[in-house]
Structure 1
Amino acid sequence: MSAEQGLAQARPASTLRRRTLWSVLVLLVVAMLAMLVWLAGKYETAQVQGRLERDAAEAVSDVRAAFMRNVQSLQALQYGDPTPNSWAIDAAVFLHAHRELVRVEWRDSAMHVRSHVDTPFRTPVFDRVGRGNSQSEVVLACANARRFSGPAYAGSYFVPLTDGLGVEVLELCLPLERAGKLEGYLVATYSLQEVLEGLLARQVTRNYEISFTEGDGTRLALRGAARRGSRVFTAQQLMDLAGTTLVLRLDSWRGAPDLFPNVLTALVTAMSIALVSVMALLGKDTRRRHKAEHDLADALAFRKAMEDSLVTGLRARDLQGHITYVNPAFCQMVGFTDVELLGHSMPAPYWPPEFIDEYQQRQSIRLAGNLPPRAGFESTFMRKDGSRFPVLIIEAPLINAQGVQTGWMSAFLDISEQRRVEELSRTSQERLQATARLATVGEMASLLSHELNQPLAAISGYAAGSINLLQDGPQALVEFGPDLTLAMRRIAEQAERAGKVIKSVHDFVRRRDQVREAVAPQLLLEAILPLVNLQARKLRVRVQIEVGPDVPSVLCDRTMVEQVLLNLARNAMQAMDQPDIVERVLLMRVRRVRVGGSTKWLEFSVADIGVGIAPDVQQQLFNPFFTTRAEGMGLGLSLCRTVVEQHGGALVFEPHVPQGTVFIFTLPTGAVA
């Protein structure tokens, strides 16, 4: 199974596991948050209920303490053996200070009323029903008082009033004894409503709904804020009095909200919402990161596929020179595996031993931060089997996402095949050049025969005349000696002339290795001049040569440059081979020029006064095998441009004023003339 297939099968399982973990995490967090909110609500409910219970207990304590103070005040009414009238006055003052009491009675031991006083704050309670209807409760309270030998209470009862309403009252009986003998009773009637309004703190009545209730929940008296909300906190406290028991009930006017009981629960809920929001953002970020990881994995797979398909070797190194990455093309190039190369430092195993010092020095310069040339540089590597091969290295800094250089990235091209092709191309060009020279000699064979006939005919004539003079014997030597000497000199001159023509053709045709040397431009022109003059005489062309003053020597392969000059001259003379051109002039000029800011260049120009070059021909003029002549091969100008460019120059053409075309090429100078 391939790595890609294994990765494809592992992705669904990893995705399912990740989703399961996230689901469990979300459920746990939601459960925890719900539990926190519920516990916070319960805690706050318990706090409210506990505070309500404490307030109810304090309210009962306040009522009981007030009842005890009232008992003491009632006992004080009997101080000094008062008369009914004086007692009534003191009782009125007492009732004016205690609104919770609606009636105070002084009774004798037979339960007959000696004196009584009603509260000044309301209509007498017993005016409508009479005091006799409540006699049983008073008797019960006093019976309890005799039994307890102290204050006692009877159960509460309802007394209707004249206004159609009523009041719930509570009877207190206080026995009056002197020297252990019962002398009577003090009976005080409490209004439970006024007890709630007068004896409890205003804070309690303002914040709670407070009431006295019976054991079954029946309300006897009610005071405080009305109910609010659907649910009310309730606290009940028993107020155990001598002879009876009352239930004090407090209802909180503040209902318990379902969501936010108070600030703590709200805070917990807000934090829970924030946590859920953070989880949602985290989930969103995780999804984005998962997508980014998925895209990155696809990008890495795409990049690896591209790197594996490259024929260019790639190698990455850190700033210490250790190899951190190689692609398959590089491993195939050097014959080592990536395991053998990764982590390797200098010297690299693919460095030839004879170049280790040179390469280490070059790498030290590179690791110091010096940028390599953008076009790259050539080097020689060694395969694992020991064979050498040339490579072109292109290096660039390796920059991370933070913009910091972490090493160097290098690209390698095996240029062995390129060098082989270049060598084949060079050999082919030399063969083509030799073939072109031979073709040129073949075309000029007839001209050479005509040119050689002249010196040979002259030699033949001078030789025949000399033989005729010598036939007269020794006398002829004395008589015609000067003429014979002149004839021999002419024969030698004509023979030398014929030899130069033949030698120039031989040097032109002979194939040899390219050897560049410093040659004077005048010598180049003189070397081709005999061959140029041959064709010039045939086509009636006047050859004109101009060499600038103090021109230096030119550094070139003499034979190849002579061929360029000869080809351009022949093309120029053939361009003027038209019937309507009477004055035919071939101008060959040499001068010094400036190229790229440097004056170490010479310009050669060959100009004619022909019909010029048509625009459609100009685009293809230097293409191989393109020619406008039926007998031409189309290689002359192409070879000329190749030769000039191999010397570092350039070959161009432009119109010649007033008519014709001028071909111009440049060559570097050699030694200064």
Structure 2
Amino acid sequence: MSSTTPPNIPAPFREHVRLRRRSWYWLTPAIALGLFVCVMGSILWWLDARDDAQRYGTLVRDVDWAQQSMRLRMLAARDRIGALGRDLVRTNMNEGRFLDDARELLTEHPEIIHVAWLDADRRAQWISTPERRASQSFRMSTPGVSDPGAVMAFEIARNEHRPTYSRPYQGQYNEVYVDLYLPVFQNERFLGNLAAVYSVDSMLQQLIPQETGRKYKVSILDGEDRTLVSSSSRADKAAVNAYEVPLDPPGNGMVLRAHAYRTTTETSQTMLVWVVVSLSAVIIWSLLALWRHTRFRSQAEEALIAETGFRRAMENAILTGMRVIDMEGRITYVNPAFCRMMGWNESDLIGRAPPYPYWPQGDHEAQQRAIDMLLSGNAPSSGFEMEAQRRDGSIYWTRMYVSPLLDQRGVQTGWMTSMTDITEPKRIREALAAAHERFMTVLEGLDDAISVTAESAKGSELLFANKTYRRVLGSQATGHDELSAGRRGRFTDEAIEVYSSSTQRWFEVRHRMLQWSDGRRVRMQVARDITERRASEEASRAQQEKIQLTSRLITMGEMASSLAHELNQPLTAIANYSMGVVALVRAGVTDSTKLLPALEKTTAQAERAGMIIRRIREFVKRSEPKRKRVNLLTIVDNAVGFAGIDSRPKRIDIVKKIPEQLPDVLADPILIEQVLLNLLKNGLEAMQETAGRELLVEANLREDMVEVAVTDTGHGLGDPERLFEPFYSTKPEGMGMGLNICRTIIEFHHGRLWAEPNPDGGTIFRFTLPWVRPLVATGPAQEQESAPKELTE
């Protein structure tokens, strides 16, 4: 018989239970009991709550009064000390009078144990104390051993011109003190502080009303909730009420706290309450005994039906298929979930022996091995998977767990099996495994080295590394750490270029923080080998430098004829002045006043020729770009000087508008001079056939950049979009590399070069350079510090 059918219950018994359920006469004791408990509990609660409220209100009033009393006394003492300070400045008080006034103050305020006059260096000049034993606690007299809190209060009083209390500190004899510092000034000059040392224990004894001290345990606590002094040693946990208020003065988080304890009167009231409670308990016990006797049989009668109904509900609600087989493999019990899972009725399964109707066709041999393993007791405790076939022929996967079935005597009568449908979880698991395999295939096939590390007690722990990482950097976390390049703690998606000394290769590295499967924060690193790209960039940079040198040489070739004319003038002047001096000497003139002007002019013309030659050599000389602090006006003067060789024959004036207050720039003067000269030459060539004969060079400050503009009135821009493309030129004989090189140079200096139409006709070329702050001291270190941040990183 299936256990899904409850055991038979006699009909007279069921009718008796039904009649007793309908009868409510036995509820009378329960109702009386409930009313009694509620009324007595409410009365006792109300009385206790009223007493607590009265006690707490009294505690609050007493503590507030004590706090106000302490505040008024301390303010009076502070005013008295302030008056002493004013007398000290106004009457030029001597030590004797100071000590007399201080002793009077100590008599009026016994909570103060010291009054002292400290000079500006915190040295105690005059000290007044009522008792010699307490002088050891005056710790501020020697600056080297002063309490840090007292020193801080001294400085605050001095700097903020106001009375200041120190934090509580402990003296030599475990006594706690608080210092009051009142600054004394004469004509805005700080003379020192009047210091008063309060004994916290004396404050509790002298400033708290005696009635409050007798009724409560009164304590003074510091800002960290530590008890400084207390009027009693009773435990705080035994208190029925507690209340605290801040003490200001002295402030610094100090608190006045009072604990209230039960009195003798309250204890007597408590005993009366317990007597009432005891009598009520006796009545309740008698009512409960009667009610329990009434309910006992009813509960016993309902237990059988409740248990049967519960078991039936559990069988119908459980989603796991339960099956019982005897020691020979015959099915003796199945629950409804098992029937729904297999698609067979209970009558079709009970009593069946292997092969079972839900075994798949063609798989009986494997199923028989599984049932033999089960009957022999060798089934794994973690369960095992098996296929099953529904009545409609569909196949699905289940997981079966097996446990022995014992009767009430402990004898095994069969096996209990539980089965769950794992078709969908198995499909998801296999799909996840396939997806993981595809993902790992992609990662392993990437040319980038991907690694994931986590911090551990032994250093970095390598959690994952793809094939490229293992091939290039090995199977340890050292390669990951090497490429981190000191960027721990600031990981972003920004790519950085790092050189690996172990592999002698360059990598483009990206970092990102991730959350690992176990919840840890880990670092993912993607490194791409860019060694060949770096080599190509270096070769391109070298080629660019060659092009720049070629451009300068071409420029010098174009300037050769004009340069010859420029040098001919000083040489001709030198020859003429020399011939004049020779003629004067031959004529017998030896007066130096007549010869000296001609010789000075000869020297000036020689220096002029030498300057032209030096500028040409510096312009043509090839060197590595070296950025340094330079004056932009000097660069403009040199470039204009070169361009003047071409501008004078063309009758074009070069006008400079450079502010004298313009800050220096951080640049290579030769490269910037080449850029400016190229722009000036382009302007001169564009203005050959125009009416405008003025080429303007100006500079202005734009936030953190200096902007230089070259404005011509030439034929204007032809194709602005292609202006900076390599090998694009508007001149028939041009190479098309000049502006492209100029842009490269300016971008190397962290600036920008662009062109825009001139509203009056022609073109305006503008470029920017970072400026540096004026130096505050000489030396390369200061110059580097004055550079903008982006240029020094």
TM-score w.r.t. length of structure 2: 0.44
SS in 2 for 1:545: strand
- The match for 2:340 is 274
Listed one character per residue, the Cα deviations across residues 563-611 of structure 1 (whole Å, up to 9, x for unaligned) are 1111111111111122xx22311111122111xxxx3x21111111112
- The match for 1:445 is 560
Please give the alpha-carbon distance, in whole angstroms, between the structure 1 residues aligned to 2:452 and 2:4: 60
> Are the aligned partners of 1:548 and 1:592 in contact in 2 as well (CA < 8 Å)?
no
AA at the equivalent of 1:421? S
- The match for 2:323 is none
- The match for 1:209 is none
Please give the alpha-carbon distance, in whole angstroms, between the structure 1 residues aligned to 2:537 and 2:560: 34
- The match for 1:394 is 510
> Are the aligned partners of 1:308 and 1:329 in contact in 2 as well (CA < 8 Å)?
yes
- The match for 1:589 is 698
SS in 1 for 2:670: helix
> Are the aligned partners of 2:492 and 2:512 in contact in 1 as well (CA < 8 Å)?
no
Listed one character per residue, the Cα deviations across residues 262-288 of structure 1 (whole Å, up to 9, x for unaligned) are x99x97784444343798797597444
> Are the aligned partners of 2:451 and 2:480 in contact in 1 as well (CA < 8 Å)?
no
1:629 corresponds, among 706, 731, 735, to 731
- The match for 1:306 is 442
Pairs within 5 Å for 1:336-415: 336=474, 338=475, 341=476, 348=478, 362=486, 366=488, 370-383=489-502, 387-399=503-515, 404-415=519-530
> Are the aligned partners of 1:311 and 1:329 in contact in 2 as well (CA < 8 Å)?
yes
AA at the equivalent of 2:466? N
Please give the alpha-carbon distance, in whole angstroms, between the structure 1 residues aligned to 2:490 and 2:649: 62
SS in 1 for 2:428: helix
> Are the aligned partners of 1:518 and 1:671 in contact in 2 as well (CA < 8 Å)?
no
Q: Report the CA distance between 1:562 and its aligned residue.
A: 0.7
Q: Judging changes above 3 Å, is the alpha-carbon distance between structure 1 residues 541 and 273 closer, same or farther for their aligned structure 2 residues?
A: same
1:612 corresponds, among 711, 716, 721, to 716
Q: Report the CA distance between 1:453 and its aligned residue.
A: 1.8
Listed one character per residue, the Cα deviations across residues 388-414 of structure 1 (whole Å, up to 9, x for unaligned) are 444343221223579x44522211123
Q: Does 505-514 or 408-417 show the bigger shift? A: 408-417
Please give the alpha-carbon distance, in whole angstroms, between the structure 2 residues aligned to 1:490 and 1:653: 44
SS in 2 for 1:619: helix
Q: Judging changes above 3 Å, is the alpha-carbon distance between structure 1 residues 271 and 434 closer, same or farther for their aligned structure 2 residues?
A: closer
- The match for 2:278 is none
2:432 corresponds, among 289, 296, 315, to 296
SS in 1 for 2:648: helix
Q: Report the CA distance between 1:483 and its aligned residue.
A: 5.0
> Are the aligned partners of 1:351 and 1:381 in contact in 2 as well (CA < 8 Å)?
no
SS in 1 for 2:657: strand
Matched, 1:416 2:531: yes
Q: Report the CA distance between 1:301 and its aligned residue.
A: 3.4
Q: Judging changes above 3 Å, is the alpha-carbon distance between structure 1 residues 325 and 40 closer, same or farther for their aligned structure 2 residues?
A: closer
Matched, 1:329 2:440: no
- The match for 1:204 is none
Pairs within 5 Å for 1:108-507: 270-276=336-342, 283=397, 286-320=422-456, 321-334=460-473, 336=474, 338=475, 341=476, 348=478, 362=486, 366=488, 370-383=489-502, 387-399=503-515, 404-472=519-587, 474=588, 476-477=589-590, 482=593, 484-507=595-618
Please give the alpha-carbon distance, in whole angstroms, between the structure 1 residues aligned to 2:516 and 2:455: 13
SS in 1 for 2:649: helix
AA at the equivalent of 2:747? E
AA at the equivalent of 1:333? V
AA at the equivalent of 1:521? L
Q: Judging changes above 3 Å, is the alpha-carbon distance between structure 1 residues 482 and 371 closer, same or farther for their aligned structure 2 residues?
A: closer
SS in 1 for 2:733: coil
Listed one character per residue, the Cα deviations across residues 346-385 of structure 1 (whole Å, up to 9, x for unaligned) are xx27767xx9xx97xx58xx4xxx44133144544354xx
AA at the equivalent of 1:539? K
> Are the aligned partners of 1:452 and 1:498 in contact in 2 as well (CA < 8 Å)?
yes
Q: Report the CA distance between 1:545 and its aligned residue.
A: 0.3
Unpaired segments of 5 or more residues in structure 2? 12-311, 317-333, 345-387, 399-420, 776-793
Please give the alpha-carbon distance, in whole angstroms, between the structure 2 residues aligned to 1:651 and 1:425: 21
AA at the equivalent of 1:313? A
> Are the aligned partners of 2:640 and 2:654 in contact in 1 as well (CA < 8 Å)?
no
AA at the equivalent of 1:394? R
Please give the alpha-carbon distance, in whole angstroms, between the structure 2 residues aligned to 1:299 and 1:351: 30
Q: Report the CA distance between 1:468 and its aligned residue.
A: 3.7
Please give the alpha-carbon distance, in whole angstroms, between the structure 2 residues aligned to 1:277 and 1:371: 61
Give identity over the alignment, percent: 29
Q: Report the CA distance between 1:332 and its aligned residue.
A: 2.0
Listed one character per residue, the Cα deviations across residues 518-555 of structure 1 (whole Å, up to 9, x for unaligned) are 11111111222221111111222111001124111111
> Are the aligned partners of 1:607 and 1:662 in contact in 2 as well (CA < 8 Å)?
yes
Matched, 1:539 2:655: no
- The match for 1:666 is 768
> Are the aligned partners of 1:393 and 1:412 in contact in 2 as well (CA < 8 Å)?
yes
TM-score w.r.t. length of structure 1: 0.51
Please give the alpha-carbon distance, in whole angstroms, between the structure 1 residues aligned to 2:341 and 2:447: 54
AA at the equivalent of 1:587? L
Please give the alpha-carbon distance, in whole angstroms, between the structure 2 residues aligned to 1:453 and 1:287: 102
AA at the equivalent of 2:605? Q
**Aligned residue-pair number:** 384
Q: Judging changes above 3 Å, is the alpha-carbon distance between structure 1 residues 432 and 316 closer, same or farther for their aligned structure 2 residues?
A: same
Please give the alpha-carbon distance, in whole angstroms, between the structure 1 residues aligned to 2:337 and 2:445: 55
Q: Judging changes above 3 Å, is the alpha-carbon distance between structure 1 residues 471 and 371 closer, same or farther for their aligned structure 2 residues?
A: closer
Q: Judging changes above 3 Å, is the alpha-carbon distance between structure 1 residues 483 and 529 closer, same or farther for their aligned structure 2 residues?
A: farther
AA at the equivalent of 2:432? L
- What is the Cα-based RMSD across aligned positions, in Å? 3.6
Q: Judging changes above 3 Å, is the alpha-carbon distance between structure 1 residues 40 and 508 closer, same or farther for their aligned structure 2 residues?
A: closer
> Are the aligned partners of 1:519 and 1:556 in contact in 2 as well (CA < 8 Å)?
yes
Unpaired segments of 5 or more residues in structure 1? 1-35, 52-262
Pairs within 5 Å for 1:525-536: 525-536=636-647
Listed one character per residue, the Cα deviations across residues 118-159 of structure 1 (whole Å, up to 9, x for unaligned) are xxxxxxxxxxxxxxxxxxxxxxxxxxxxxxxxxxxxxxxxxx
Please give the alpha-carbon distance, in whole angstroms, between the structure 2 residues aligned to 1:459 and 1:629: 39
SS in 1 for 2:491: coil
Please give the alpha-carbon distance, in whole angstroms, between the structure 2 residues aligned to 1:315 and 1:327: 7
- The match for 1:510 is 621
AA at the equivalent of 2:736? G
SS in 2 for 1:322: strand
Q: Does 542-551 or 489-498 show the bigger shift? A: 489-498
Q: Report the CA distance between 1:316 and its aligned residue.
A: 1.4
Please give the alpha-carbon distance, in whole angstroms, between the structure 1 residues aligned to 2:650 and 2:479: 68
**Structure with bigger gyration radius:** 1
Please give the alpha-carbon distance, in whole angstroms, between the structure 1 residues aligned to 2:760 and 2:770: 30
Q: Report the CA distance between 1:484 and its aligned residue.
A: 3.9
Please give the alpha-carbon distance, in whole angstroms, between the structure 1 residues aligned to 2:623 and 2:513: 46
AA at the equivalent of 1:373? T
Please give the alpha-carbon distance, in whole angstroms, between the structure 1 residues aligned to 2:462 and 2:652: 70
Listed one character per residue, the Cα deviations across residues 602-656 of structure 1 (whole Å, up to 9, x for unaligned) are 1111111112102xx2111111121111221111111111111111111112122
Listed one character per residue, the Cα deviations across residues 43-72 of structure 1 (whole Å, up to 9, x for unaligned) are 99xx9xxx9xxxxxxxxxxxxxxxxxxxxx
Q: Judging changes above 3 Å, is the alpha-carbon distance between structure 1 residues 487 and 371 closer, same or farther for their aligned structure 2 residues?
A: closer
Task: Work out which structure has the larger RCO, using CA pairs closer than 8 Å and 6 or more positions apart in sequence.
Answer: 1
Q: Report the CA distance between 1:325 and its aligned residue.
A: 1.2
Matched, 1:656 2:758: yes
Please give the alpha-carbon distance, in whole angstroms, between the structure 1 residues aligned to 2:671 and 2:491: 36
Q: Report the CA distance between 1:322 and its aligned residue.
A: 1.3
Please give the alpha-carbon distance, in whole angstroms, between the structure 2 residues aligned to 1:459 and 1:555: 39
